Amino acid sequence: MFEVDYVPAVVPLFYLRVCINRRLNTDNLPNCAGRGSRELADRLEKQMIAESLPTKVLRGPCMNNCQIGPNIKIQAGEMLNLNCDVSDASFEAVMASIRAEVQKRKDAAVAAEPL
Ligand code: FES
């Protein structure tokens, strides 16, 4: 027998993809990392862990919506364009969307269970 704590695997209900692209800015276009998306991804991840939400953050490349970033995509769900706003209010709005999506998927899973 192994002398380690057993940690059950948690399969996320969905992924939250956060654009963390940083441009070299030779073209003077905005980019999500330049608007704080990397710090935002860390903060979202910490909050989701603190609330035990069954989701995971994926840090990803450009989503071609650079003008209205930072951009966040709920997998198979809502696209959130923060439009330069990484304030606490905006963070809370993103968290509210994540909580709503978790609840929606949990409800759908219960409804799909056989009687
Ligand atoms: S840099 Fe984030 S969408 Fe393009």
Domain ranges of the chain: 14-112
Q: How big, in percent rounded to 5, are the helix, strand and coil portions of the chain?
A: 40, 15, 45
Ligand 1 pocket mutation pick from 32, 59, 82 by most atoms within 8 angstroms of CB? 32
Mean pLDDT within 75-102: 96
pLDDT, one tens digit per residue, over 20-70 is 999 887 778 899 999 999 999 999 999 999 999 999 999 999 999 999 999
Q: Which atom of ligand 1 is nearest to the CA of 19?
A: 2
Binding site membership of 17 for ligand 1 (Cβ less than 6 Å): no
* pLDDT value at residue 30: 92
Q: Which atom of ligand 1 is nearest to the CA of 70?
A: 2
Binding site membership of 66 for ligand 1 (Cβ less than 6 Å): yes
Mean pLDDT within 88-109: 96
Helix (H, G, I), strand (E, B) or coil at 110: helix
Distances from the Cα of 14 to the Cα of 26, 51, 90, angstroms: 35, 15, 21
From ligand 1's centre to the CA of 105, what distance in Å?
27
Q: What is the pTM of this model?
A: 0.87
Mean pLDDT within 2-23: 82
Binding site membership of 63 for ligand 1 (Cβ less than 6 Å): yes
Fold of 14-112: Glutaredoxin (3.40.30)
Q: Which of these, 61, 52, 50, 60, lies nearest to 13 by C-alpha position? A: 52
Query: Encoding tokens for residue 80?
Result: 């959130």
